[in-house]
Amino acid sequence: MCQIESPFATALREEEEELSFEPTGGIFEVKFLLTEEAMLALTECARQHLAPDPHAMSAEGDGYTVHSLYLDDEQFATYFASGTERLPKYRIRRYGDAETVFLERKSKPDGKVKKHRTLVHAEDLAYLDGVEPPEDWSGRWFRKRMRKRGLHPVCFISYNRTARLGQIEDQYVRFTLDKDILCTPALNMGLPGPLNGEATRLNTMIAEIKFEHSLPAPFAEVVERLSLVPAPVSKYKRGVEACSLVSALLGGVAHKNGVGGDDLGAN
């Protein structure tokens, strides 16, 4: 019996066929909202079994700051999408005070994370805001998707990240801990960077563990000992809510789609 593919699924498949993905794409990702005790235990486990991220810049040798500009359409389709019709997330990411940024598309089909991103100069953001780019500009795919989906800047999110990676049980493993998370509405296509004192603080800490086939035993032991429960948390969704960016839409659209203030469909 022939199965008919939905228009939504067809559009996503065609989009992904145009792109290539990082070597570490297509791996599993589990997230946890942490207490102080859990944060210390998972971080100790990561530092015992994994090496520092080579891009780390902090005194501890495994930390750096991340600044992101998240995009969505006028109806906040990415925010509201969930389940089988979860939309890819588009963002512009900068690490520390770098003069370059990554144009990123992140999706999570079949429970696995896939990411496509391109490194461009900070001044190239003008090409996403009305200036015509050169024909050979590497970020044209991102510009094309912005226009096709009607994406525009929604919010800036900035945080401190601890990151470790390596091999455990013959699989690639990456651990990140995000804390000191700040967010603010984005009024234009600005360069992501540190946020000032007027930004809204998200009083939460989020751990992510990426792996190829199963949660590594050292982390599984900590998770079981502390009775940690995976949470499909999205910093973007929490930032949108903290900045009250969808308050006018939440009543009708959230009720219609069966989503509200939780993080269902987060990626």
Nearest 10 degrees: CA dihedral of 192, 196, 202, 206?
50
What string of H, E and C letters represents the secondary structure of 87-118?
Answer: CCEEEEEEECCCCEEEEEEEECHHHEEEEEEE
As a whole number of angstroms, the distance between CA 206 and CA 33 comes to 5
Q: What is the pLDDT of residue 267?
A: 55
As a whole number of angstroms, the distance between CA 96 and CA 211 comes to 26
As a whole number of angstroms, the distance between CA 258 and CA 244 comes to 19
Residue 186 contacts residue 151 (beta carbons within 8 Å): no
Question: By three-state DSSP, how is residue 29 classified?
Answer: strand
pLDDT per residue of the chain (267 residues) written in tens, 0 to 9: 344 434 444 445 555 555 554 444 568 999 999 999 999 999 999 999 999 998 787 666 899 999 999 999 999 999 988 654 578 999 999 999 999 999 999 988 777 888 899 999 999 999 999 999 999 999 999 999 999 999 999 999 999 999 999 999 999 999 999 999 999 999 899 999 999 878 999 999 999 999 999 999 999 999 999 999 999 899 999 999 999 998 755 554 444 444 444 454 445
- State the pTM of this model: 0.85
Q: Among 44, 19, 200, 217, which residue's Cα sits nearest to residue 118? A: 19
As a whole number of angstroms, the distance between CA 156 and CA 133 comes to 24
Query: Any idea which fold 19-257 has?
Result: mRNA Triphosphatase Cet1; Chain A (3.20.100)
As a whole number of angstroms, the distance between CA 110 and CA 29 comes to 11
